[in-house]
Amino acid sequence: MQTVIGIMGGSGLYEIAGLEGAEWVSVDTPWGAPSDHFFIGTLNGVRMVFLPRHGRGHVHSPSSVPYRANIDAMKRLGVTDLFSLSATGSFREEMAPGDFVVVDQFIDRTYAREKSFFGPGCVAHVSVAHPTCPRLSDAAQAAAEAEGIRVHRGGTYLAMEGPQFSTLAESKMYREIWNADVIGMTNMPEAKLAREAELCYASIAMVTDYDSWHPDHGEVDVTKIIATMTGNADKARGLVARLPGLLGADRADCPHGCDKALEFAILTRAEHRDADLVAKLDAVAGRML
């Protein structure tokens, strides 16, 4: 099987350069329109598919990002390995603005988003105990190190609804009681949907600020975030450019089973399935239906 790398670009990362034969391509999905067109090309012999999560020009808020359409379209385009890049606040002194964190766990505090491709007429329960793929996380870490980026391996990303930043009480609770390491507004339900779509998924948090808990840094200031984000985006482009060389063009089955997540997950018996929903699931779950 051929590797196809997907990149979900976060705030500040609306385009990438250096792809051969690249063009912006529009994709329709049964879940509506994705955030933007997809920038598709080849790097070091590996096909790459890039999508700015908020759309070029930052049109979508974290709550309005069409997460299902984005993941469905990635799958429809043949993506096998999906990397998320996101701006985050940090709850740890040592995870400083400008550092990257290859997160491996999430706490999902979002509530105003569609969180599953499945539902009445085709019910499925996938495991997200280990929501990120260690193989892709290894590649992300190696790419960051090769770029000279200060990178931390492992961490818990708290996904909040937003769009406002957290109160001081929330920030302290997430840090001191819930033991979260970074905070953002977009990795959920994205990571859950990637698992339902049997995509390997890794998330790279690009720290922009200390949220509001840090006594020396005061509250979150968007102008400072944007300045840090610009530097982070340049580093992210370097990291992305190294991924094809690290993953290679030929791909074996995921040793962690991300690409088999739906096996045994669909509970609705074939004769009871809703035909319209089954049709919508063609890209995401076609191999199981």
Ligand X SMILES: Nc1ncnc2[nH]cnc12
Using an 8 Å Cβ cutoff, are 139 and 212 in contact? no
Give the range of 41-49, 95-103, 179-187, 267-275 binding ligand X by CB under 6 A. 179-187
Task: List the interface residues with ligand LNRAV4D5, window 66-95 (CB under 6 A).
Answer: 86-87
User: Of 126 and 185, which CB lies nearer to ligand LNRAV4D5 in the complex structure?
Assistant: 185
Give the range of 17-25, 68-76, 81-89, 111-119 binding ligand X by CB under 6 A. 81-89
For residues 27 to 66, the per-residue mask of contacts with ligand LNRAV4D5, x marking binding by CB under 6 A and - elsewhere, is --------------------------xx-------x----
Q: Is residue 87 annotated as involved in ligand binding?
A: yes
The yes-or-no answer on residue 253 being catalytic is no
Write down the least CB distance from residue 184 to ligand X, Å. Answer: 5
3-state helix/strand/coil string of the chain: CECEEEEEECCCCCCCCCCEEEEEECCCCCCCCCCCCEEEEEECCEEEEEEECCCCCCCCCCCCCCHHHHHHHHHHCCCCEEEEEEEEEECCCCCCCCCEEEECEEEECCCCCCCCCCECCECECCCCCCCCCHHHHHHHHHHHHHCCCCEEECCEEEECCCCCCCCHHHHHHHHHHCCCCEEECCHHHHHHHHHHCCCEEEEEEEEEECCCCCCCCCCCCHHHHHHHHHHHHHHHHHHHHHHHHHHCCECCCCCCCHHHCCCCCECCCHHHCCHHHHHHCHHHHHHHC
Write down the least CB distance from residue 190 to ligand LNRAV4D5, Å. Answer: 9
| Among ligand LNRAV4D5, ligand X, none, partner that 228 touches (CB below 5 to 8 angstroms by kind) | none
Q: Is residue 185 annotated as involved in ligand binding?
A: yes
Is 99 among the residues that bind ligand X (CB under 6 A)? no
Task: List the interface residues with ligand LNRAV4D5, window 142-181 (CB under 6 A).
Answer: 162
Q: Is residue 54 annotated as involved in ligand binding?
A: yes
Q: Is residue 53 annotated as involved in ligand binding?
A: yes
For residues 180 to 209, the per-residue mask of contacts with ligand X, x marking binding by CB under 6 A and - elsewhere, is ---xxx----------------------xx
Residue of 70, 88, 137, 228 interacting with ligand X (CB under 6 A): 88
User: Of 126 and 239, which CB lies nearer to ligand X in the complex structure?
Assistant: 239
Check 81, 209, 216, 253 and give the catalytic one. Answer: 209
> Who contacts 2 (Cβ-Cβ below 8 Å, separation ≥6)?
47, 78, 80, 249, 250, 251
Is 43 among the residues that bind ligand X (CB under 6 A)? no
Q: Is residue 210 annotated as involved in ligand binding?
A: yes
Token pair listed for 162: 């937003």
Write down the least CB distance from residue 125 to ligand X, Å. Answer: 29
User: Of 52 and 89, which CB lies nearer to ligand X in the complex structure?
Assistant: 89
Q: Is residue 1 annotated as involved in ligand binding?
A: no
The yes-or-no answer on residue 181 being catalytic is no
For tokens 């931390």, the residue is 152
Q: What is d(CA 200, CA 265) in angstroms, rounded to the nearest whole number?
A: 17
In the annotated binding site for substrate, the residues are: 185, 209-211
Catalytic sites, residue numbers:
209, 211
